[in-house]
Amino acid sequence: MSSTARGARARARMEVTAAIKDEARRQLAADGAAKLSLRAVARELGMVSSALYRYFPSRDDLLTALIIDAYDSLGAGAEAAHREVADAGPVRRWTAVCEAVRGWALGHPHEYALIYGSPVPGYTAPDTTVAAASRVGLLLIGIARDAHQGPGPVRPPLPAGLRPEAERMAADLAPDLPPETVTALVAAWAQLYGLVGFELFGQFNRVVEDRETFFRHAVTRLAHGVGLAQEC
């Protein structure tokens, strides 16, 4: 309420801020993060470049805002896709989330590159981003949790050296899941983005043609690896 009613001044500020982000997002989608120019954004909005610094203290701050929005957009897309199959089995839900990630990446390549490609220049992930960044991960953890309600099949035992780390990760991420599952989950989480990145960044050129089918199969096997399937 205070955010909307607190004066016309504040409202105008919000609107201009949103307009700047929108135009910046347009340029980001069109030409990539490297060619995003504060001056061009200002020009397109009919203001002078120095005026823009009242809203974002630097170009990197603008990019950081776009990064957070991108994480949120990706997370919202994944959550929406998950919601549509909320009643299905774990594997189906898992692949739905994975395919939502892939779909979002293909639809927003430059934004994906911004958050999962190389961090722009000096790469510092402010703590503000971690909440937005973990939405997809939380979704995947939730699916694994639901699948492990009953006494699941025993995973291959962890090597002795990994056990402390696996238990630490489990305690941090999902105390109700066995460390073997959490370890597999974290690995699958990273591997998912390997698949998406390779397709998006052209590494699959002249290698994989029917990428959608290939991806669906690969993430299905990922789901099996995490132990989401009935039998192993």
Partner DNA sequence: ACACATTCGAGAGCACTGCTCTTGCTCTGG
Partner DNA sequence: CCAGAGCAAGAGCAGTGCTCTCGAATGTGT
Residues that bind a second copy (CB under 8 A): 31-35, 110, 113-114, 116-123, 125, 130, 133, 158-159, 161-162, 164-165, 168-169, 172-173, 183-184, 186-187, 189-195, 197-199, 201-210, 213-214, 217-218, 221, 225
Q: Contacting DNA (CB under 7 A), which of 21, 25, 33, 59?
A: 59
Q: Contacting DNA (CB under 7 A), which of 13, 83, 168, 221?
A: 13
The distance of closest approach from Cβ of residue 216 to a second copy in the complex, given in angstroms and rounded to an integer, is 8
Q: Contacting DNA (CB under 7 A), which of 30, 50, 125, 194?
A: 50
Q: Can you tell me whether residue 1 is helix, strand or coil?
A: coil
What's the burial of 198, exposed, middle or buried (CB within 10 Å: 0-12/13-18/19+)?
middle
Q: Does 114 bind DNA (CB under 7 A)?
A: no
Measured between alpha carbons, how far is 181 from 188 in angstroms, rounded to an integer? 10
The listed partner (a second copy, DNA, none) that binds 54, CB under 5 to 8 Å by sort, is: DNA
The distance of closest approach from Cβ of residue 168 to a second copy in the complex, given in angstroms and rounded to an integer, is 7
The distance of closest approach from Cβ of residue 71 to DNA in the complex, given in angstroms and rounded to an integer, is 22
Measured between alpha carbons, how far is 218 from 191 in angstroms, rounded to an integer? 10
Pick out residues in 133-152 that bind DNA (CB under 7 A): none
Q: Does 120 bind DNA (CB under 7 A)?
A: no
Q: Does 47 bind DNA (CB under 7 A)?
A: yes
Measured between alpha carbons, how far is 118 from 109 in angstroms, rounded to an integer? 13
Query: Which tokens is 202 given?
Result: 């052209």
Q: Can you tell me whether residue 2 is helix, strand or coil?
A: helix
Q: Does 83 bind DNA (CB under 7 A)?
A: no
Measured between alpha carbons, how far is 48 from 43 in angstroms, rounded to an integer? 6
Q: Where are the alpha helices (DSSP H) in 32-89?
A: 38-44, 49-52, 59-84
What's the burial of 205, exposed, middle or buried (CB within 10 Å: 0-12/13-18/19+)?
exposed
Please, which residue, 47 or 145, has the CB nearer to a second copy? 145
Measured between alpha carbons, how far is 140 from 176 in angstroms, rounded to an integer? 14
- Overall residue count recorded for the chain in this entry: 232
Please, which residue, 39 or 221, has the CB nearer to DNA? 39
**Cβ–Cβ contacts within 10 Å for residue 139, how many?**
21
The distance of closest approach from Cβ of residue 186 to DNA in the complex, given in angstroms and rounded to an integer, is 35
Q: Does 18 bind DNA (CB under 7 A)?
A: no
Judged by the rule CB under 7 A, the positions of this chain that interact with DNA are 7-9, 12-13, 16, 36-40, 46-51, 53-55, 57-60
